[in-house]
Structure 1
Amino acid sequence: MTEMKVFILACVLAACTISHSSWAGREMDAEEAPPMKPGIKCWAVSYPESVHCTWKLEPAPHLNTSFITTYRQMMETEEEANECIQSLAEANSCTISDFQIFSMIPYILNVTAVNPLGSVTHLHPFIVEQIIKPDPPENLRVSSIPGQRKKLLLKWDPPKSWPFPQYFPLKYLIRYQRAGSSTFRKIGPYEQTSFNLTGIRPSTLYSVQVSAKECMDYGKQSAWSPAAAGKAWDKR
């Protein structure tokens, strides 16, 4: 393997940056410099339909900056790369919708930031199943159960951004706390979208949140849903 191939492979594995400047060797201030490397994050919020990637230039550029975005699997050549779709060339995000699921060969996102003084390329490797992160569950409801003074009924919906919950189910974690408490109790995971919360104190207000994760435990847990509150049934 040649030294150049070794460098490229090491560069990809380290998510490295390659700069190209037409002003090499000249001192420049922040307002007249090529773009800095973009910090990239990719998440499969809508698995297995798409991967959404975002990036941010630090420091923020003073010159108009556009981006060229492509992706490929690690063993493919640059000529085989596909476009990561942007809404505009200046947009700080792109979407990948054509990829293989359950592939252990990493994908490589190539983001090249370009301004009139030069360009910088950042290679960001990822495996799709490792970056799954659903949006939080939606429409959480907390209601009393007639005749049950120590139970609450919880119901919620999968996030609308998760396209096929019947084929790629989610599991859910629940956390709750009573009014005035500074600590949460966490329970789960559960695969259903409803739950009878038991053992609560009568006539006490409880705040509840729910989080989602891919059922086979791939990727990351979602953020917690907005809180919903309720009290158990009271015969008075």
Structure 2
Amino acid sequence: MEVLRGMVDYRDVLRLFISVAAIFNTNGVTSRLLFAAINTSVNITCNTTQHEKQFQIVWKKNETLLTTADGVLQDGTFSIKNVSLSHHGTYTCQMGREGRVLEFITLTPGYPPGKLIISCRVVCFSKPVQCSWRLAEETFLTTTYNVTYTPNKKTQGGELPVCRRTIDMMCEIPNSIPLFQQIPERLTVTASNGLGSSSNTLLFILEDIVKPDIPEEVVATRNCDNFNLRVTWKPPATWNSTIFLKYIVRFKMLNQLDWNEVTVVQENQLNHKISNEFSEMIVQVAAQDANEDGEMSSWSMVAKTTACPHKGKPTVISVSSCSGFSQFHPKKTIHSVQSKGSQSVTSLCALKLALLNLGILLLA
């Protein structure tokens, strides 16, 4: 089996021939695993002796007889022109339909490993570095990973630290990495399966990969006397560095699309006052290293303010139902409107205006 090294895109190796991963022998019948790249052609050849070749070779897949419609049958070879996931299964070749089974072949279609994506993060400069990796494309094959960590220098005890595997696709580096170094750390991951392998290396400096956890206990309190909004929070429990954090506070009205942002950079300041006249607001807080190294944390859960009791304000009332009056203003005095040589406005209209005026005076 050929092993592919370096950064490999599976599309560059789709023409790769089948690869035999293992050969077994059960009760005198050979069993083997066979890998084939999807969208390529594969020839499954039966392991026969010269004597057995004199008999007709019959192929079955999962105990179902195969015909030329399933693939090309020739000289004891079953050919698949365009391999897909549907071709996965156990193929058997035997001498005639009821004859002796000569070999079991398990065909597994898939892709060799392609591009590897590696990332490392530390939530505080004193905490272990967490690294993870993933393949950009699915291989549909069992894939194993080998991880190599190359530090900038040895630990104080002279031992070479390693990235200890924690869970699948993750490892942890004990944090003995110094700050402000010029030469980066190196983490190399190699992915391998039955069709090949690929590798990638991440170079990183500690302060470039810091990303604090989310600020905790974010609370927004409204002062209903002056409508000021006071936001308070606590730093992430995982942050115990001597380097302090800055905080980004964003807020908006409940149904507004765009956020407003302010940055709090004073050391140990864990609150901020927002002056506005809107009673219902939502607020979120994020944290970042004060030197702006690394990344900003994710946003906290939304904190929502409660609405203040409504305070009445002078109201402008429009009146359009009475002839001769287009608008009524509370601050204006109502006078009888008469036409020269004619009667006053109808008593019904005057009554309406009088009642309206009385209601406004009571509100005031």
TM range (shorter): 0.7 to 0.9
Shift of residue 104 of structure 1? 1.7
TM-score, normalization by structure 2: 0.51
Shift of residue 24 of structure 1? 11
| CA distance in 1: counterparts of 2:308 and 2:185, whole angstroms | 53
Number of the residue aligned with 1:92: 169
| CA distance in 2: counterparts of 1:235 and 1:225, whole angstroms | 30
Runs of 4+, deviation exceeding 6 Å: none
* SS of 1:83 mapped into structure 2: coil
Number of the residue aligned with 2:212: 134
- The letter of the residue matching 2:169 is N
User: Which residues in structure 2 correspond to 1:50-65 (within 5 Å)?
Assistant: 50-65=128-143
User: Which residues in structure 2 correspond to 1:134-153 (within 5 Å)?
Assistant: 134-145=212-223, 148-153=225-230
Q: Is the 8 A contact 1:151 1:199 kept in 2?
A: yes
Shift of residue 18 of structure 1? 4.6
Number of the residue aligned with 1:158: 235
Number of the residue aligned with 1:120: 198
| CA distance in 2: counterparts of 1:81 and 1:210, whole angstroms | 39
Aligned partner (choices 112, 120, 139) of residue 42 of structure 1: 120
- The letter of the residue matching 1:126 is F
Q: In the alignment, does 2:282 pair up with 1:210?
A: no
| CA distance in 1: counterparts of 2:166 and 2:298, whole angstroms | 26
Larger radius of gyration: 2
Structure ranking higher in strand proportion = 1
Shift of residue 58 of structure 1? 2.4
- The letter of the residue matching 2:263 is G
Aligned partner (choices 210, 228, 243) of residue 168 of structure 1: 243
- The letter of the residue matching 1:154 is V
Across the aligned residues of Structure 1 and Structure 2, the Cα RMSD in angstroms comes to: 2.9
Q: Runs of 5+ in structure 2 lacking a partner?
A: 18-35, 39-108, 312-364
Number of the residue aligned with 1:220: 295
- The letter of the residue matching 1:208 is V
Number of the residue aligned with 1:229: 304
Q: In the alignment, does 2:118 pair up with 1:110?
A: no
| CA distance in 2: counterparts of 1:121 and 1:170, whole angstroms | 36
Number of the residue aligned with 1:192: 268
Number of the residue aligned with 2:149: 71
Q: Is the 8 A contact 2:161 2:174 kept in 1?
A: no
| CA distance in 2: counterparts of 1:100 and 1:198, whole angstroms | 39
Shift of residue 17 of structure 1? 3.8
| CA distance in 2: counterparts of 1:35 and 1:198, whole angstroms | 52
- The letter of the residue matching 2:127 is E
Q: Is the 8 A contact 1:70 1:81 kept in 2?
A: no
Q: Runs of 5+ in structure 1 lacking a partner?
A: 1-15
- The letter of the residue matching 1:192 is N
Number of the residue aligned with 1:13: none
| CA distance in 1: counterparts of 2:14 and 2:250, whole angstroms | 55
Number of the residue aligned with 1:5: none
Q: Is the 8 A contact 1:177 1:183 kept in 2?
A: yes
- Overall identity of the aligned pairs, in %: 28
* SS of 1:103 mapped into structure 2: coil
| CA distance in 2: counterparts of 1:216 and 1:228, whole angstroms | 27
Shift of residue 235 of structure 1? 9.1
Q: Is the 8 A contact 1:68 1:112 kept in 2?
A: yes
Shift of residue 86 of structure 1? 1.2
| CA distance in 1: counterparts of 2:236 and 2:204, whole angstroms | 24
Q: Is the 8 A contact 1:169 1:215 kept in 2?
A: yes
Q: In the alignment, does 2:258 pair up with 1:183?
A: yes
Point out which structure has higher relative CO (alpha carbons under 8 A, 6+ apart).
1
- The letter of the residue matching 1:209 is Q
User: Which residues in structure 2 correspond to 1:3-22 (within 5 Å)?
Assistant: 17-18=6-7
Q: Deviations over 1:205-234 (max 9, x none)?
A: 011011100122211111221110114765
Shift of residue 32 of structure 1? 4.1
- The letter of the residue matching 1:26 is L
Aligned partner (choices 20, 29, 33) of residue 37 of structure 2: 29
